[in-house]
Amino acid sequence: LSFRKRLGANDLNYLIEHSTDLVSWDLATEAVLSDIVNHDDGSVTETYRISIINDSDKSQFLRVKIQSK
């Protein structure tokens, strides 16, 4: 999962969530930050990966949820 975010936006929380059915979403505590690209314009792209797959027969989905602090 990759997404772009503004540097210095300290009033926002970025939460990585996981689902197998696109209906129920849980916090993806096993998500690991694997890459950061600085765009030199006040933003970065962060890439998160998840290596634990609970049931290999099911599809796995990730999303980013943005909340105000």
Dump pLDDT digits (tens) for 19-38: 989 999 999 998 999 999 99
Contact predicate 50/14, CB 8 Å: no
Q: What is the pLDDT of residue 55?
A: 61
Q: What is the pLDDT of residue 51?
A: 77
- In DSSP terms, 19 is beta-bridged to 61
Q: How confident is the model at residue 56 (pLDDT cuts 50, 70, 90)?
A: low
Q: What is the pLDDT of residue 23?
A: 97
Q: What is the pLDDT of residue 28?
A: 93
Q: What angle do CA 49, 52, 58 make, to 5 degrees?
A: 100
